[in-house]
Structure 1
């Protein structure tokens, strides 16, 4: 059958014209041979905004010419002047989730290590769209990866003091305004631990101690918090606090071994080298390649005047994890040992 053009004008004036030739299925309506027109697919809906090509030209309306040729094909015709019409794509309203996807703490933190810039941008966009505590937490974690540790630590410490933390993902709209539950207390304690570790990375032991101490008021049995608290207590020359915090030892083997290493450092600070060596050897029995444990035992060997054993442990630390903080400390100890081999 012959075709005739149907022109649909959507919106106002446009700077792009698109002609689409499409087949519309037809069905007999009148015995005399007339036809009614019935679209084969869903009705055409003009986009509110479209981007034309890669140059980002915006069109407020679309002109569509439908030619009923009856040949079953859909193709874009040439634009005026003979140039092919660039592709047309919808412009998203924002860079966050799609319309069917909710903002998500899990999504935000999934890329913190690999793409901290992207995670920070996601969190900031989330905040602009009503994000609350979890959006701020994700932003702080991204800042740690980006090197802005002090700002992140202060933010995490502040967030840990906010009651009524959300439980679940996505967070409910009332997050931060409700009384605490056991689950929200655990969540806040975890944020306090993150704050303490960030303060440690910022070389701010007093603030780290305060964040960890506050976290333990929320969740006294939290083992990671107890470990952070004990390590910082030793750094602040409060070894008895560390020993009290880590005694009795945790029941989970991996946590127990970490606690043994931290408690050994506390015993050493108190001058009780024998008890420190007992703890550190117990830890190394379970994890013989642990850098922190080998570093500590090297220090204990040095205190006992066993320089060859100290050197061997520190060299093992450098070999096992050359880019670790423990390796940096081991190199410093080895350098001092070379300068004064007999120094205790």
Structure 2
């Protein structure tokens, strides 16, 4: 069974209405995270017996923290700075937490746990799960992400009100993104059934979400349900990069159905746009092998190893090359 094991470390940025997703191996590298701005606060100055407060609100991904100074009268109360953001401490943020997940997962996990101890909510739990993936505790992380995806409302960083707020278009997108992360983590844990369940739930939240459709289709192929994959990926996405990924996934589905000619048409269309893509070359090598063209299959698999020797695609290509050496005529 071929399992896609590369995972993103930062699922989306959190500006209103703008989730960003990563694609996964063997087709795309991990996501990037946009790091938020740091807050700057200005205090009011007392002049000639009258209190004048100047408060500067700083936004991070649509969230605003405000601090107030003494004033004679205020029409509405202004929230105070949380204790954990005391002197010398920067505001907690999901972007800051995930920024070092790949390079320093221990540090990211410690940051998330400290954040949780100081009132962190859903975002802190999500960051901790992503750090656990990098540290190898994939099953625990996948279960945590799946649980978080089922929490309605998704208030930013506020676990006290989790599940108590109605969903908005933004919260549905956030929950779908977390469901996608859960599905990818289950794939990496070699648990395709759980991955399929997480992807299916995510598509209930956001039916037109292309990254989720891609994950769903790949897992469907793993579970020997290629027609589901083809139905999900047809028509193809309009964005070129997503279209090429869908072509590779659909080619695998056609192959599983024994329709090698259609699979070869899709994979060659993808390779026309991205000739050095390891996942596409790996798939075409398999198709060549099915057609009995062993020399072409070997050339594609060797290209995969040469282009990205440390990738998951290269590991799979080496396995195929080893089998080819053992039985050169095997279809």
Distance 2:318 2:107 in 1: 35
Structure number with the bigger relative contact order (C-alpha 8 A, sep ≥ 6) is 2
Residue deviations 1:8-28, cap 9 Å, x none?
Answer: xxxxxxxxxxxxxxxxxxxxx
The alpha-carbon distance between structure 1 residues 128 and 277, as it changes in their structure 2 partners (threshold 3 A), is: same
The secondary structure found in structure 1 opposite 2:235 is coil
Partner of 2:18: none
Distance 1:217 1:97 in 2: 41
Partner of 2:131: 142
CA contact (8 A) 1:119 1:139 kept: yes
Partner of 1:35: none
The farther-off stretch of 276-285 and 98-107 is 98-107
Partner of 2:144: 155
The secondary structure found in structure 2 opposite 1:305 is coil
Aligned-residue CA RMSD (Å) = 1.7
Distance 2:295 2:223 in 1: 30
The alpha-carbon distance between structure 1 residues 173 and 158, as it changes in their structure 2 partners (threshold 3 A), is: closer
Distance 1:197 1:98 in 2: 39
Q: Quick check: 1:218 aligned with 2:205? A: yes
What is the Cα deviation at residue 202 of structure 1? Answer: 0.5
Rg bigger for which structure?
1
Q: Quick check: 1:265 aligned with 2:252? A: yes
Distance 2:84 2:188 in 1: 32
User: For 2:274, which of 287, 299, 307 is the aligned residue?
Assistant: 287
Q: Quick check: 1:325 aligned with 2:312? A: yes
Distance 1:236 1:118 in 2: 36
User: For 2:154, which of 165, 187, 203 is the aligned residue?
Assistant: 165
Residue deviations 1:14-48, cap 9 Å, x none?
Answer: xxxxxxxxxxxxxxxxxxxxxxxxxxxxxxxxxxx
How does 1:59-208 map onto structure 2 within 5 Å?
98=87, 101-167=90-156, 174-208=161-195
Residue deviations 1:92-112, cap 9 Å, x none?
Answer: xx9987556321111111111
Partner of 1:334: 321
What count of residue pairs does the alignment treat as equivalent? 249
More strand as a share of residues: 1
Distance 2:268 2:146 in 1: 35
Q: TM-score if structure 2 supplies the norm length?
A: 0.73
The alpha-carbon distance between structure 1 residues 201 and 272, as it changes in their structure 2 partners (threshold 3 A), is: same
CA contact (8 A) 1:295 1:317 kept: yes
Q: TM-score if structure 1 supplies the norm length?
A: 0.70
What is the Cα deviation at residue 123 of structure 1? Answer: 0.8
What is the Cα deviation at residue 177 of structure 1? Answer: 2.4
Unaligned runs of 5+ in 2: 1-82
CA contact (8 A) 1:206 1:236 kept: yes
